[in-house]
């Protein structure tokens, strides 16, 4: 990670000039005990958006060999027919009823499928990484409250939350991994350093989060609300209160969060603006210390906070198609407020990239394997 010399110290960064960190050095960090063996992999739900993103990442991964991608609707059709960016991939979809035996099964299916089929998935694979919400929450009560209950609650204790920045130490050897929700991932990455540093107290700290998210969040069958004519140009509050990711955020941050989501006119990306009201006054130096302490050694995290140029704060467009996450912050002392920004690609850091990152850690592979690519710039609405 590089730090501009003029802004490396805490309060020196208040004026914002060039106060930007990048992750150049950290991205080469690897696990010294890392294995280089090849692992077979399957993607259940391969025609979907996150399934396609998994196939894109895994097909370029040095240690994974994709042997199966499933679809009920596109059985025996080429992967390239659903994902034109993968026309070069020599693979056809097969029926999810006939699972091949693999080292790692990635499930990119709608909520409810994995919890019904988890015994089959675990019989077919040594490690299951589920991208749905089916194993993210800690207990059956939470599923009763936020979803429609749970079909296999006996697996909830066994599942590990995928986000390595939060749960790295529990991933090695895990056989059931739950990738986080995209809005929850953006929010947790933004706010967690303040909780860890004690700037935000679990009992009294107040957090109000507004997430803007792109249409790919709704999946390939996103419905009328995500059709082009309806989505174009909107900044539409689609979950003013009661979004299910609120449960996930509260479970992993350990504090109450007021959470709202807007559907906006982009394809990829989730941008969380978090209004944080700490109990005690906080300085810009405190904030730099918290975020640098949390992310200086993280290979995929960038702190972008008031630097120069057009993109002075976290920006979904700057991370689109990559596994990077950006966080940044500003102080609003007159209102006792810290405003935190967090940007990810919902389909990469917010699901498929996070899933592969977690699998890398679980299997003892180099953490960044298969994920060492940047996004594009300039590019249209991501």
Report the catalytic residues.
Answer: 182
Q: Does 267 bind ligand NAP (CB under 6 A)?
A: no
- CA 271-294-253 angle, to 5 degrees, is 65
Q: Which of 16, 80, 219, 254 is in the footprint of ligand NAP by CB under 6 A?
A: 219
Q: Judged by CB under 6 A, does residue 138 bind ligand NAP?
A: no
Nearer to ligand NAP, 3 or 105 (CB): 105
Residue 248 engages ligand NAP in binding (rule: CB under 6 A)? no
Strand partners, 221: none
Cα angle, residue 206 at apex, residues 9 and 334 outer, rounded to 5°? 55
Smaller CB separation from ligand NAP, 181 or 278: 181
Closer Cβ to ligand NAP, 179 or 365, answer by number: 179
User: Least distance to ligand NAP from the beta carbon of 326, Å?
Assistant: 17
Considering beta carbons, is residue 269 or 278 the nearer one to ligand NAP? 269
Does 333 contact ligand NAP by CB under 6 A?
A: no
Angstrom CA distances, 68 to 37, 52, 64, 377, stand at 19, 13, 12, 33
Mark the segment that binds ligand NAP (CB under 6 A) among 69-77, 194-202, 312-320, 371-379.
69-77
Token couple for 230: 């309806």
Shortest distance, CB of residue 198 to ligand NAP, whole angstroms? 30
Residue bearing tokens 């990077």: 324
Determine, following the binding rule CB under 6 A, whether residue 342 of this chain makes contact with ligand NAP.
Answer: no
- Angle, in degrees to the nearest 10, between helices 182-196 and 245-253: 20
CA dist 34 and 27 (Å) reads 15
Give, as ranges, the residues between 77 and 116 that touch ligand NAP (CB under 6 A): 96, 108-111, 113
Tell me whether residue 182 or residue 303 sits nearer to ligand NAP (CB atom). Answer: 182
Q: How far is CA 153 from CA 136, 142, 149, in A?
A: 11, 11, 9
Does 316 sit near ligand NAP (CB under 6 A)? no
Beta bridge partners of 66: 41
Cα–Cα distance for residue pair 170/248, rounded to 1 Å:
18
> At its nearest, how many Å lie between ligand NAP and the CB of residue 214?
8
Residue-wise DSSP of 129-184: EE-SSTTTSSSHHHHHHHSS--S-GGGTTT-EE--HHHHGGG-TT-SEEEPPPHHH
Write out the residues near ligand NAP by the rule CB under 6 A.
Answer: 44-51, 71-74, 96, 108-111, 113, 131-133, 181-182, 216-217, 219-221, 346-347, 350-351
């Amino acid at each position: 990670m590089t730090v501009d010399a003029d802004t490396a110290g805490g309060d020196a960064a208040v004026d914002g000039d060039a106060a930007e960190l990048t992750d150049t050095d950290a991205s080469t960090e690897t696990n010294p005990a890392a294995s280089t063996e090849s692992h077979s992999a399957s993607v259940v739900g391969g025609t979907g958006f996150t399934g396609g993103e998994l196939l894109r990442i895994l097909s370029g991964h040095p240690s994974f060999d994709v042997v199966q991608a499933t679809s009920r609707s596109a059985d025996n059709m080429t992967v390239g027919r659903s994902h034109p960016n993968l026309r070069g991939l020599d693979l056809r979809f097969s029926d999810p009823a006939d699972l091949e035996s693999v080292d790692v099964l990635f499930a990119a299916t709608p909520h409810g499928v994995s919890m019904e089929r988890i015994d089959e998935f675990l019989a077919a694979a040594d490690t299951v990484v589920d991208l749905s919400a089916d194993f993210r929450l800690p207990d059956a009560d939470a599923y009763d409250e936020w979803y429609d209950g749970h079909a296999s609650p006996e697996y909830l204790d066994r599942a590990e939350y995928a986000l390595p920045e939060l749960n790295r130490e529990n991933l090695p050897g895990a056989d059931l991994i739950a990738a986080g929700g995209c809005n929850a991932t953006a929010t947790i990455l933004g706010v967690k350093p303040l909780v860890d540093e004690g700037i935000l107290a679990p009992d009294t700290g107040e957090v109000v989060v507004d997430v803007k998210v792109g249409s790919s969040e709704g999946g390939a069958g996103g419905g009328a609300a995500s059709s082009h004519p309806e989505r174009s140009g909107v900044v539409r509050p689609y979950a003013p209160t009661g979004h299910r990711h609120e449960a996930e955020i509260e479970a992993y941050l350990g504090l109450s969060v007021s959470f709202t989501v807007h559907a906006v006119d982009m394809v990829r990306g989730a941008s969380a603006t978090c209004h944080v009201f700490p109990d005690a006054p906080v300085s810009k130096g405190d904030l730099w210390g918290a975020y640098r302490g949390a992310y200086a050694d993280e290979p995929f995290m960038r702190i972008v906070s008031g630097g120069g140029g057009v993109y002075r704060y976290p920006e979904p467009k700057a991370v689109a198609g990559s596994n990077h996450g950006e966080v940044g912050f500003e102080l609003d002392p007159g209102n006792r407020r810290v405003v935190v920004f967090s940007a990810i690609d919902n389909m990469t850091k917010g699901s498929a990239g996070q899933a592969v990152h977690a699998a890398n850690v679980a299997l003892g592979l180099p953490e960044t394997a298969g994920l060492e690519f940047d996004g594009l710039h300039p590019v249209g609405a991501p």
